[in-house]
Structure 1
């Protein structure tokens, strides 16, 4: 018995890993900063909003070179520079609160080498696993876009998505860390890009670090673009749908079963045929 004469909606989730950075143990700090006598906060930043130097001493007690600025008053930076966000939203403020990450003492900040992959997990409200989708294996490069992404239907009962970063092809090895996205808090029908902290796996770090893991500990950061939107299909006799109806689904639950995610990988461009020069 096929589903006919019914208009059905389902949520579709698009999620893309844009970049990875600072894959070492660090902690999240919230600090107040203020403008100096010259009217600036005195922060010399990289293009990625990492503190390189301090131009004056107004914030020397709370900011150190190497700190990574994540947000201002809870507003995430995403891809944009700190200077733009301050000019657009906090130009009249003499003081603001920054959220930043700082490498923990004695932590090696040497760049990670080798291959990594990620697993997208769809979780129920109680934290139990509903579906999981691993990505392809990628060579880690903090200075370049990664490009792993998923496009999939969100089955009924999903409360949040967890993105886990792995360094081994063996799923029994503990992950580097994971970031959780609450789907209900995502802006409707909008593409949202922001940095998310990778919370470390306790079994991975406990044997090699004497300092216990806290709620503010990070194992790295991941830039994620995500969009949740509604997909509609009109199913009627003789009508055309976005989906094939050759298999005769028995229920809407079967019709909206999760699809395998699309895997995107770079490929060389085809050569462009150039016209012969006119001599």
Structure 2
């Protein structure tokens, strides 16, 4: 067996693992196959004599390809609006069903709501035990920031209540009522909209921006409980506009039409259980945002 045949065999030995990673990140067997094929093309152009861990190298390559595909998918949805569907079906329904069953339909639905970097960090670490320092190189963040990405994704996976077309109007009504009460400074109207264990989280950029703005209310990175969250949010959404963020009801502050702050809401059983304030431009760029 010559060198090329040996390389092809070693790639085939890793194909099932690579395809499993790609499918869980992308949610589509067709796209997963494309990602694996791209990894093969890159392998044939690489200096394999210096690859001590071929499996790890291939996993990293597939992860990078998948991340690029997710980001392209998000950008395309922003350009064309909500008519662009999330690709989930392949050419082989039986194979698609088998893979979906191995992950769990509910998990696939929730994964589709995550930002690309969050989704990749969660899949690689929690499902495939890839160390955070290796994932950090793929997503271009520090290991600590990558750990936070996976943590946020894990919370959403464990506690998310996926949005369906049927309950979208109800959730929008809850979010709109919350925004109206916040703008009006109506503390009593905010309370019944919040779950007793509600959590408000803000990223570092949002916290620092609030601290640097004269007269702006202080913002903590995490606030828990109905009264504390309601108090923290009073008057904070004066210029916020209703929006869909990755298909879920939310709000954005978008001066000049450019989103600067995103207010994300997690709703379960008719109550807001989580609010996330995001002002990091990089993360906002990964969201699919439709204002209005």
Q: TM-score, normalised by structure 2?
A: 0.26
Which structure is higher in RCO with an 8 Å CA cutoff and minimum separation 6? Answer: 1
Return the TM-score normalized by structure 1: 0.27
> When you count helix as a share of all residues, which structure comes out higher?
2
Which has the larger strand fraction?
1
